Amino acid sequence: MIANPAQTTRHHLANQAAPDFSLIRKICACGNASTAKQLSQHGKCAACALAAIRDAIMPGDFAKLQHMLGAVKQYPKSKWGWRNYYAAGGGQTHEAMQRLVVAGLATAGRAANEMTYFHATRLGCKAAGLDGAGIKRAMEDES
């Protein structure tokens, strides 16, 4: 496409006069700017998506997610993601894991001896506070 400065200006002015739908969708409901891709995929900015996830799970679930990833204060943050599994039997632990799965924070892996191994997803790693290197570490350990 050949750029036409005059046309670009007209489009810009039109947007200012009456913001079109695509422009509105680049602002999250919270008022923060977000990418069109993020908003079309999640319907909200990354911060709001994370807040919605935290609302969807129980407080204790989040601690289990952190435990799953070794993202606990006994370990320096640079080590977080050194593990990525949580063996759940039946009952409350399993229910907690299911909530994490529904929230997109974890996936169910292999089952053995009446235990199911759950692993944090990339989103789960992010939610637990892992940085890029930690997420990479955790994803490699997912076995």
- Which residues contribute to the site for Zn ion (CB under 5 A)? 28, 30, 32, 45, 48
For residue 67, the 8-state DSSP code is H
Q: How far is the CB of 66 from Zn ion (least distance, A)?
A: 24
Of 28, 29, 12, nearest to 20 (Cα)?
12
Considering the complex, state which of residue 126 and residue 137 has its C-beta at the smaller distance from Zn ion.
126
Considering the complex, state which of residue 44 and residue 137 has its C-beta at the smaller distance from Zn ion.
44
Considering the complex, state which of residue 40 and residue 143 has its C-beta at the smaller distance from Zn ion.
40
CA dihedral 71, 73, 76, 80 (to 10 degrees): 0
Q: How far is the CB of 127 from Zn ion (least distance, A)?
A: 15
Q: How far is the CB of 33 from Zn ion (least distance, A)?
A: 9
> Do residues 53 and 105 touch, judged by C-beta distance below 8 A?
yes
Q: How far is the CB of 25 from Zn ion (least distance, A)?
A: 12
Sign, CA torsion 130/127/25/22: positive
Considering the complex, state which of residue 26 and residue 136 has its C-beta at the smaller distance from Zn ion.
26
Helix residue ranges, H only, 19-121: 21-24, 36-42, 46-56, 59-68, 91-102
